[in-house]
């Protein structure tokens, strides 16, 4: 086998194992297994309400993949007891755990569901609207960002803004642009209970889910399904957030311009986007490979659905962020000295 042959084999195995994780997540199997020490396939089938034959095959696949362990692989199938290792609980079942990566499976499935439309978009030069990627992608995207937005955002990123964040903490105003399911917005509202916090997104399904999450947690947030261009009418704000959204915008300069107009004189826009390399190189590292993968199948087609489009794609480099901010009239753009993980975190000052 050539190196590419081997890589395609490993990629296929990985994709199929993501489908297994998707099934385990959607069917509630991992949650069920985390609540008990071990299970047979018969016990699992009864507990989560699935057919026993499917339960057996799924457990065997997960054990072969090393995701689950089995007490005695040589035992009769009915007697084998399977366990979810403690080290895998955060990855698979704990939404706020730093290592919670199970949502990636839902994102991949969401993309797979519309690949025919992506093929057509390549041929026509049109795009695929974000809503067409469905609940799987939407929930996956919200879930994959939730750990960072629930901790690093409020514990490190916002405090790095200094006086602007202090004003929010003391009862100021903050708006989260492109808030999606609202995990970042809710985290801010919980961390700064005296603040007036808004979450704004154009996707109606995301806003509905964000409002439901706020009600469930009894958190006071104003979620609006509207365009960021309308933001200035509701200003001024002390801080605006734009988290992993700039690269998806068809008209990024217009949105940044509206954000600048909505900020108070001493306000700041906290922007987080992909921590990709400074410039294009090939071959690239694993982060570049992943980001280009999202771009060719989702981010670029979604941005191209609205015309005219800046058509940035997922791989938004630092010089592009700085250029867009300058075109929108921001006086200064700085990269904050914080741990952004997959993100590079910026502060834009009017």
In a domain, 101, yes or no: no
43, 45, 58, 62 from 74: Cα distances, Å? 19, 21, 17, 16
Based on the fold, state whether residues 196 and 311 are members of the same structural domain: yes
85, 249, 277 from 316: Cα distances, Å? 37, 11, 9
In a domain, 313, yes or no: yes
In a domain, 102, yes or no: no
Based on the fold, state whether residues 68 and 193 are members of the same structural domain: no
Six-digit token string for 196:
């007036």
> What's the domain range around 75?
3-93
Task: Name the stretches of the chain with pLDDT < 70.
Answer: 1
Instruction: Give the domain-ending residue among 28, 58, 93.
Output: 93
Task: State residue 1's pLDDT score.
Answer: 64
- Would you say 344 and 275 are in contact if contact means Cβ atoms under 8 Å apart? yes
- Would strands 237-243 and 263-274 be described as parallel, antiparallel, or unpaired? parallel
Q: 334 in helix, strand or coil?
A: strand
Task: State residue 228's pLDDT score.
Answer: 79
In a domain, 121, yes or no: no
Q: What is the pLDDT of residues 203-236, one digit of tens each?
A: 999 999 999 999 999 999 999 999 877 888 888 9
Based on the fold, state whether residues 200 and 61 are members of the same structural domain: no
In a domain, 204, yes or no: yes
Mean residue pLDDT across the chain? 96
In a domain, 127, yes or no: no
In a domain, 154, yes or no: yes
Based on the fold, state whether residues 180 and 244 are members of the same structural domain: yes
The domain that holds 160 is classified in CATH as: 3.40.50.150
First to last CA, the chain: 56
The count of domains in the chain is 2
Six-digit token string for 303:
């941005």
- Would strands 69-70 and 196-201 be described as parallel, antiparallel, or unpaired? unpaired
In a domain, 116, yes or no: no
The domain that holds 73 is classified in CATH as: 1.10.10.10
Based on the fold, state whether residues 77 and 155 are members of the same structural domain: no
Based on the fold, state whether residues 208 and 333 are members of the same structural domain: yes
Q: What is the pLDDT of residues 78-133, one digit of tens each?
A: 999 999 999 999 999 999 999 999 999 999 999 999 999 999 999 999 999 999 99
């Amino acid at each position: 086998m050539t190196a590419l042959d081997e890589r395609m084999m490993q990629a296929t195995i990985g994709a199929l194992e993501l489908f297994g994780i998707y099934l385990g997540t959607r069917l509630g199997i991992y949650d069920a297994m985390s609540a008990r020490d071990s299970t047979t396939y018969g016990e699992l089938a009864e507990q989560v309400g699935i057919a026993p034959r499917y339960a057996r095959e799924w457990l065997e696949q997960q054990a072969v993949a090393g995701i689950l362990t089995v007490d005695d692989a040589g035992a009769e199938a009915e007697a084998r007891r399977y366990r979810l290792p403690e080290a895998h609980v955060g990855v698979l079942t704990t939404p706020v755990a730093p290592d919670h990566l199970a949502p990636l499976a839902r994102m991949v499935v969401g993309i797979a569901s519309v690949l025919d439309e992506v093929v057509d978009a390549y041929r026509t030069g049109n795009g695929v609207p974000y809503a067409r990627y469905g609940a799987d992608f939407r929930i996956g995207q919200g879930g994959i960002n939730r750990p960072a937005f629930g901790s690093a955002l409020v514990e490190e990123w916002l405090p790095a803004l200094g006086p602007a964040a202090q004003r929010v903490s003391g009862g100021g105003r903050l708006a989260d642009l492109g808030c999606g399911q609202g995990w970042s917005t809710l985290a801010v509202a919980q961390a700064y209970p005296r603040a007036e916090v808004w979450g704004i997104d154009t996707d109606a399904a995301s806003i509905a889910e964000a409002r439901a999450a706020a009600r469930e947690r009894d958190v006071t947030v104003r979620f609006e399904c509207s365009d960021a261009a309308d933001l200035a009418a509701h200003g001024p704000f002390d801080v605006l957030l734009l988290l992993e959204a700039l690269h998806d915008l068809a008209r990024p300069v217009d949105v940044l311009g509206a954000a600048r107009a909505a900020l108070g004189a001493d306000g700041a826009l906290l922007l987080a986007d992909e921590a990709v390399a400074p410039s294009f190189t090939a071959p690239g590292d694993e982060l570049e490979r992943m980001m280009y993968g999202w771009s060719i199948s989702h981010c670029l087609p979604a941005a191209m659905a609205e015309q005219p489009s800046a058509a940035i794609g997922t791989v938004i480099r630092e010089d592009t962020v700085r250029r867009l901010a300058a075109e929108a009239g921001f006086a200064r753009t700085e990269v904050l000295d914080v741990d952004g993980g997959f993100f590079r975190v910026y502060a834009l000052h009017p």
